């Protein structure tokens, strides 16, 4: 059967290799949208204050498990927020105990709640060296934040001035380039000789920067890294649907309440947990690559992180009627707008 004629697809249960669950009432309001479809997720540590120690991560994991809807099985894979003061012994202990799956590098000021991030990577070298030794991956938000660099060039400049020098200095370090948004990023990963992989979000496969700016400014399409030109979106789609084991799903689903986005200085973040699998099936069908959706969403990520694949499966069905999602979800923290892919979705998770 050619992929185009497929109307039902069963794949191993997917994982989300980059997720913002937040805390408190927001956590309670959004976690069910991830645990419904995903077995595991890498949980971003950019809370206020951030998750910087193993003790912080232990406590945060407990809050996540307490918020999980009854009966759902979901494993949060915890990360630590790298600071210039991170203690290598604490990181190693967290990894050894099985709690910590990765450490996250946010260049200072790169995105929401990243002011405590790393300013001078030299200061983080002791912990990065330890991570290289123990095989603990570094997840990077790959953007420079120097004001001279145009926001659309931040990723390419990061690769040239931070990532490549770091990988040359410490080739044993495993690096995940998270939410790759440019052809430059894709090409850099493809040219690498190992120890480098990239996650790709759902929304960057669907929108380019026009979604954000044409016909009026649309804050619900604003995220960081910001969506780029069409040529970049096409490169991301080609990589995601290629089956190349170095690319996998990280939704970067990042809920903010509407008033924080619909204002003069709106927050970055797009909420996609609820409809990601529906959107991805649509994209992979458009690319005639439904047979490679499982690699992207369920196989390549665990292989990279050295974890077993999920034994459970989910089934996606294509239906004649469009599947509808609420435009907004209500949480006790406030209303969150759901990502609108701007086309009808016909794939549903049954």
Please give the Cα distance from 109 to 97 (Å, whole number): 31
Q: Are 142 and 189 within 8 A, CB to CB?
A: no
**Piece of 122-130, 228-236, 238-246, 261-269 that binds ligand NCD (CB under 6 A):** 261-269
State whether residue 10 is helix, strand or coil.
Answer: strand
Q: How many CA atoms lie within 13 A of 334 on its CB side?
A: 9
Regarding 252 and contact with Zn ion (CB under 5 A), the answer is: yes
Nearer Cβ to ligand NCD (52/224)? 224
State whether residue 69 is helix, strand or coil.
Answer: coil
As given in the structure block, the two tokens for residue 162 are 């931070």
Sheet holding 75-81, edge to edge: 16-19, 40-43, 75-81, 100-105, 138-140, 175-177, 196-200, 247-249
Nearer Cβ to ligand NCD (20/292)? 20
Query: Which of the residues are catalytic?
Result: 252
Give the number of residues in contact with ligand NCD, rule: CB under 6 A. 13
Residue with tokens 């490679």: 292
If you write DSSP's letter for every residue of 200-224 in order, what string do you get? E-SGGGT--HHHHHTTS--GGG--S
Nearer Cβ to ligand NCD (179/246)? 179
Contacted entry of ligand NCD, Zn ion, none for residue 112, CB cut-off 5 to 8 Å set by kind: ligand NCD
Regarding 112 and contact with ligand NCD (CB under 6 A), the answer is: yes
Of the candidate residues 15, 17, 19, 46, the single one contacting ligand NCD (CB under 6 A): 46
- Rounded least distance, CB 249 to ligand NCD, Å: 14
Contacted entry of ligand NCD, Zn ion, none for residue 200, CB cut-off 5 to 8 Å set by kind: none
Of the candidate residues 30, 77, 224, 295, the single one contacting ligand NCD (CB under 6 A): 224
Sheet holding 313-323, edge to edge: 8-12, 313-323, 345-349
Regarding 155 and contact with Zn ion (CB under 5 A), the answer is: no
Of the candidate residues 16, 17, 20, 116, the single one contacting ligand NCD (CB under 6 A): 20
Q: How many CA atoms lie within 13 A of 148 on its CB side?
A: 2
Contacted entry of ligand NCD, Zn ion, none for residue 268, CB cut-off 5 to 8 Å set by kind: ligand NCD
Q: Are 74 and 39 within 8 A, CB to CB?
A: yes
Please give the Cα distance from 50 to 43 (Å, whole number): 12
Nearer Cβ to ligand NCD (121/268)? 268
Contacted entry of Zn ion, ligand NCD, none for residue 269, CB cut-off 5 to 8 Å set by kind: ligand NCD
**Piece of 4-12, 29-37, 64-72, 244-252 that binds Zn ion (CB under 5 A):** 244-252
By the 10 Å C-beta count (0-12 exposed, 13-18 middle, 19+ buried), 8 is classed as exposed
- Rounded least distance, CB 270 to ligand NCD, Å: 7
State whether residue 101 is helix, strand or coil.
Answer: strand
Contacted entry of ligand NCD, Zn ion, none for residue 141, CB cut-off 5 to 8 Å set by kind: ligand NCD
Q: Taking CB under 6 A as the criterion, which residues in 264-283 touch ligand NCD?
A: 267-269
Please give the Cα distance from 314 to 299 (Å, whole number): 13
Regarding 257 and contact with ligand NCD (CB under 6 A), the answer is: no
Residues that bind Zn ion (CB under 5 A): 252
Residues that bind ligand NCD (CB under 6 A): 20, 44, 46, 111-112, 141, 223-224, 252, 254, 267-269
């Amino acid at each position: 059967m050619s992929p185009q004629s497929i109307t039902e697809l069963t794949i191993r249960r997917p994982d989300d290799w980059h997720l913002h669950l937040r805390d408190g009432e927001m956590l309670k309001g959004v976690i069910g949208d991830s645990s419904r479809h995903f077995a595991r997720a890498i949980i971003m540590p950019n809370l206020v204050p951030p998750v910087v120690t193993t003790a912080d991560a232990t406590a945060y994991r407990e809050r996540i498990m307490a918020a999980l809807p009854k009966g759902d099985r979901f494993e949060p894979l915890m990360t630590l927020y790298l600071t210039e003061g991170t203690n290598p012994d604490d990181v190693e202990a967290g990894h050894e105990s099985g709690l910590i799956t990765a450490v996250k590098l946010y260049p200072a000021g790169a995105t929401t709640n990243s002011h405590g991030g790393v300013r001078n990577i030299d200061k983080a070298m002791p912990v990065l060296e330890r991570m290289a030794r123990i095989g603990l991956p570094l997840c990077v938000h790959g953007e420079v934040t120097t004001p001279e660099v145009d926001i659309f060039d931040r990723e390419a400049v990061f690769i040239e001035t931070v990532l490549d020098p770091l990988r040359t200095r410490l080739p044993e370090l495993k690096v995940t380039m998270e939410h790759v948004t440019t052809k430059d990023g894709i090409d850099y990963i493809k040219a690498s000789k190992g120890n480098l992989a990239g996650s790709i979000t759902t929304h960057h496969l669907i929108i380019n920067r026009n979604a954000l700016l044409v016909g009026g400014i649309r804050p619900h399409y604003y995220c960081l890294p910001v969506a780029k030109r069409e040529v970049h979106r096409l490169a991301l789609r080609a990589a995601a649907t290629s089956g190349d084991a170095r690319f996998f799903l990280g939704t970067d689903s990042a809920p903010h309440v509407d008033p924080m986005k619909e204002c003069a200085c709106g927050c970055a973040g797009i909420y996609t947990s609820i409809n990601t699998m529906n959107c991805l099936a649509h994209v992979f069908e458009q690319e005639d690559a439904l047979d490679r959706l499982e690699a992207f969403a369920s196989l390549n990520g665990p292989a990279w992180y050295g974890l077993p694949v999920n034994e459970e499966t989910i089934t996606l069905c294509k239906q004649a009627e469009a599947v509808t999602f609420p435009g907004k979800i209500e949480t006790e923290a406030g209303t969150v707008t759901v990502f609108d892919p701007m086309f009808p979705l016909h794939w549903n998770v049954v």
